[in-house]
Every structure is written in C-alpha cells, then in structure tokens.
Amino acid sequence: MSSTDTLKSQLSLPVICAPMFLVSTPRLVIECCKNGVVGSFPALNIRPQKKLDEWLTEVSTSLEQYKQDNPNAKVAPFAVNQVVHPSNSRLMADHALIKKHKVPFVITSQGNPSDIVKDVHSWGGIVFHDVIKTQHAKKAIEAGVDGIIVVAAGAGGHGGTLNPFALIREIRAFWDGPLALAGAINDGQGIRAAEVLGADYVYMGTRFIATQEAQVPNEYKAMLIKSQIEDIIYSDYFTGVHANYLKDSLIQAGIDISALTGKDKVDLDLGNTNSWKDIWSAGHGVGGIQDVPSVAELVASLIKEYRIACDTPAFSL
C-alpha cells in the first residue's frame, strides 16, 4: 500500500473510522475493515502495554482469514494511532510491536512523526498525520508523511477550531497528496461534501461509537442519541489539549463544568484508564445520531446516502 489509489481500491467507501480512546477495540476495527472501511485504534487503548501484541495478532489473523474466505470482498487495511508527543512514555515500546506486525497503516498525532515515518516506510506501510492548523500540515509533510488528516472544528476528542472550508483550501494550496477530513461527518452526504471540498477521505469517529460493535456502556450510546451540538463542551482541562466531550458525562462524573480550567502542561500519557471511563467524548455531529446499528448496517446506509448525494444534480449554469 504505497499510494492513495491503492488504498482506495481496498475500500467500499472513502472512510476511516477514527481511533478513539477507550472506544476502539479489535471487534470494532475488524468489523469496519470487513465492511470496506479503515478500522483503527489508539495504541494507548491497551493495558497493560504488552497486550498490544495480542490485539495486533487478533486483528491481523481475523482479517487474513476473512480475505481467504471472501476473496472478492473489499477488505480495508487496519490502522494504529501513535501519539508522538514526548509525554507518551509508551511510544517506542508500542512502536516495536507495530514494527513486529508490520502494521500497514499508522496514524500519528500530537508531535513530530519523522522517526516513525522512516520506520513504517521501511516495511511498506503508510503514515497519515493529524493536524489542526496549516503550519502543522507543513511540518508533517516535511517529516515525510503520506497523508494529512485535517481535524477541523466539531471533531470529537482532540479536535481543532478552524473551519474546514478555509483549512482544506489553505492546505490544498501546497499539498496534493492524500487528505482526510474530520469534524461532524455522520452520513453519506457529508462524505460527498468533503470530497467536493477537496478531501480524499473522511475521518468518522462519533458515529461509530453508536454501533453494536462499539464496546462502550449503553448509557454512552443513549447519551449520543439524545444529545445536540449545545451538549458538547470543548476543554483542555483533562490533557492540556482541547477536546470535545459530552457535557452530561462530565456532570455525571461529578465535575463542575462551570469551573473547568486549563491544564498547566500537555500530558498525553493517559496512564490511568479508570480516570477516563466515565468521561465521554463526542463531536458536533451528535444531533444526527438516532440509532445504534451494526457496523455492516451503518456502512450500507452510508453507501446508499453517498450514492444519492453523488447523483444530486449540481446548480445549472
């Protein structure tokens, strides 16, 4: 897999299911890939660290078996997210296992991916990097990444604040390579709109939390269904990096949202998962989530919506 064309040939839709902290598991990743959508998980989801080896084995062997049993199916590659910020004490240990398994697709975020890029390229893998600003994209390109993930306003988790119309056009002025857009994309119409804007792929996270395969509390899924944009809060209280969360989950966890203050420094080590189990992330697209389908049902719905959007006539000039 060395080009966007090769990647696209493995997909049923130009969609990457975003890596979500304490949400993405092998079950969700495998089902996404089996349905032609890139499935991904953060390396930091696995505790203890050595269990990452088991996760990578499970995903790899399951997908290889599925390919053998279904030779004509479009089976997407899976991806692993690596937080490359210096505060991530697990970075190199996790990378050693990623290298052992020759993971085909690595998503880097929160730092300089240069060393990771060189190594991933050595086994034929590709690297996409999360950015929230134009200057971040330029630095990632200098580092040799294969693709840029534009994390615009409204994305769940560690999201940016910039308008996707402006940000994509700025980046496209100097980058003609693979580009994915993240931020409140929930349906086939959003996928098509992102393509028209200049994206090759979309990065969808929140919508996949409300699926049967997402192994999160049912209360989390119910909160997604009942929430609207105004129920999302943007704060750097937890990690020092701004992110979008479900306001009601913070209140239920006993946090006074009127008194949230920023963290003194960035801390992305995320060592104690118990501290996070009741803090639920979501993006601005929650208002469009009204059910909890299987991944297969969701992808089928996205394909149908996407086809309708592609067939919608443009303005007649």
Position 276 scores a pLDDT of: 67
| Structure confidence at residue 260 (pLDDT) | 76
CA distance 90 to 118: 19
- How many angstroms from the chain centroid is the CA of residue 302? 17
pLDDT tens, position by position, for the chain (317 residues)?
445 568 999 999 999 999 998 899 999 999 999 999 999 999 999 889 999 999 999 999 999 999 999 999 999 999 999 999 988 999 999 999 999 999 999 999 999 999 999 999 999 999 999 999 999 999 999 999 999 999 999 999 888 999 999 999 999 999 999 999 999 999 999 999 999 999 999 999 999 999 999 999 999 999 999 999 999 999 888 877 888 999 999 999 898 888 776 655 555 555 555 556 888 999 999 999 999 999 999 999 999 999 999 999 888 77
**Residue 2: predicted pLDDT:** 46
3-state helix, strand, coil in the chain (%, to 5): 45, 15, 40
Task: Return the closest-CA partner of residue 127 out of 139, 116, 111.
Answer: 116
Q: Residue 266: what pLDDT?
A: 53
Q: How far is CA 35 from CA 11, 16, 290, 299, in A?
A: 8, 12, 21, 7
Instruction: Please give the pLDDT value at position 264.
Output: 56
Contact criterion met (CB below 8 Å) for 227 and 287: yes
pLDDT of residue 145: 97
Q: Kindly report whether the peptide bond that precedes residue 48 is cis, defined as omega within 30 degrees of 0.
A: yes
pLDDT recorded at residue 265: 53
CA distances from 42 to 22, 81, 171, 262, 306 (A): 8, 4, 25, 24, 28
pLDDT on residue 3: 55
The answer to whether the CB of 110 falls within 8 A of the CB of 241 is yes
- Indicate the fold that domain 4-216+284-311 takes in CATH: TIM Barrel (3.20.20)
Q: Where are the domains of the chain?
A: 4-216+284-311
pLDDT score of 1? 44
